[in-house]
Amino acid sequence: MQTSAQSSFRQRLVSGAFLAGSFVKTPSPHATEILGNTGFDFIVVDQEHAPFDRVTTDLVLLAARAAGVAGVVRVPTLTSDAIQASLDCGAVGILAPHVASAADAQALVAACRYRGGKRGFSGVTRAGRYGGSKMWDLVDAADAAVATIAMIEDPAALAEIDAILAVDGLDAVFIGRGDLTVAFGAPTRDAPEVRDAVDTILRAAKKAGKPVCVMTDNGEESAGFAERGASAFILSSDQGFLRKAASEALAQMQTARSRVENPGSR
């Protein structure tokens, strides 16, 4: 059974609610349980850049349900097979990489939808409550609940951004600042060409009336992006949080060691 956070994720995303999420890169349920219990609105299983297979994806999405947090999957490639597998495991959203044209966006939407789309049907998956849902009730519920999010991370997508956002059934776009930075050969994410690309996407999304998701470093940066039109934010990852907390704890221990080993320096 989906929790309210899971069943309402697409509705909240489309309405422009301020949402906080994080990438999950460790293929075990624990980080997702912790993030869910902490109060994050959603997690993103990172199949593109982390060692997830279908079994570990299935396990982490089960943990998301148990922890009452919406489980989104960033698929490794924009293919119907990758998307269907994640949806069957119970994902409530698909984050698709390298959407660079309206045709790419249409392929994403088609793979996520039964009616008017090409999603393969099975009523005996987790998404179908293992046979506990009637066929057409399941079809309508799934079509209403699954969020489609296109990653805009290629320079070629900038020229097509209006056409991408005009695709019926595309719910939101994600600004891939990291990939854009690398593609432009820019020194940082704040380089003029990257900032111009970000502004182009934000303006187009506002014109189309569609929400924008972006990865940010902290709440202050998230607030700045919110003022410019973004509404969903990915903060770090389970690995990032672990590294940051471990580094801070170790720094404190190094200070303590210095005090113990050099008592006269206090």
Q: What are phi and psi of 67, to 5 degrees?
A: -90, 0
Q: Does 253 fall in a domain? A: no
Q: How confident is the model at residue 2 (pLDDT cuts 50, 70, 90)?
A: low
Tell how far CA 131 is from the center of its chain.
28
How far CA 123 is from CA of 36, 133, 222, in Å, comes to 27, 7, 39
Q: Does 244 fall in a domain? A: no
Report yes or no: 102 and 157 within 8 Å, Cβ to Cβ.
no
Q: Does 78 fall in a domain? A: yes
Residue 165, H or E segment? helix 161-165
- For residue range 207-246, list pLDDT tens digits in order: 999 999 999 999 999 999 999 999 999 999 999 999 999 9
- For residue range 110-126, list pLDDT tens digits in order: 999 999 999 999 999 99
How far CA 131 is from CA of 121, 123, 240, in Å, comes to 12, 5, 38
Q: Does 46 fall in a domain? A: yes
Q: How far apart are CA 136 and CA 188, in angstroms?
A: 49
- List beta partners, residue 42: 21, 70
Residue 222 CB: number of other CB atoms within 10 A? 21
Q: Which residue has the tokens 């209403």?
A: 144
Report the number of distinct structural domains present in the chain: 1
Q: How confident is the model at residue 7 (pLDDT cuts 50, 70, 90)?
A: confident
Question: The CATH number of the domain where 91 resides is what?
Answer: 3.20.20.60
Domain that holds residue 75: 4-237
Q: Does 265 fall in a domain? A: no
Q: How far apart are CA 95 and CA 75, in angstroms?
A: 7
SS3 118: coil
How far CA 261 is from CA of 206, 248, 251, 252, in Å, comes to 58, 20, 15, 14
